[in-house]
Amino acid sequence: MTKISNEYVLNRNRINGIDNSKKSIQTNNIGNGKSFKEVMNQLGKNDEVNFSKHAMQRLEKRNINLTSEDINKITDAVNIAKAKGVKDALIIMGDNAFVTSIKNNMVITATSGTDLKESVFTNIDGAVII
């Protein structure tokens, strides 16, 4: 299991943020009998989850270090929630919890350990436990 520093995740997010904002539909994808919604869903299907600045601060403050395997699990959980029509999900992975915007493929905040006790999570419409 490879540990990935939070700085690496932040840098990857910056790179992904630039790449994600410049995605375009190639002309060969248009007119293949797919609806606009199907094409857009296909473009976003394999995107790794990104972390907001707030989430990065919480990861650092709470000493939550994620491995590449952890990020893959969170990405899979986001895709599961997306397939079920969830808009904002609570993803629970071991002792960690992540509030995630499914539409934006973005972890909004993170918490762990004793901070989970007696916590109330609002503005979510689904939960994925991995």
State the pLDDT at residue 31.
47
Does residue 122 register a pLDDT over 70? yes
User: What pLDDT does 30 receive?
Assistant: 46
Q: φ, ψ for residue 119 (rounded to 5)?
A: -80, 150
**What is the pTM assigned to this prediction?**
0.66
Closest CA relative to residue 50, chosen from 109, 6, 106, 108: 106
Higher-pLDDT residue of 83, 17: 83
Tokens of 23: 């995605």
Top pLDDT among 53 and 26 is at 53
Query: What pLDDT does 25 receive?
Result: 37
> What mean pLDDT is predicted for residues 35-55?
70
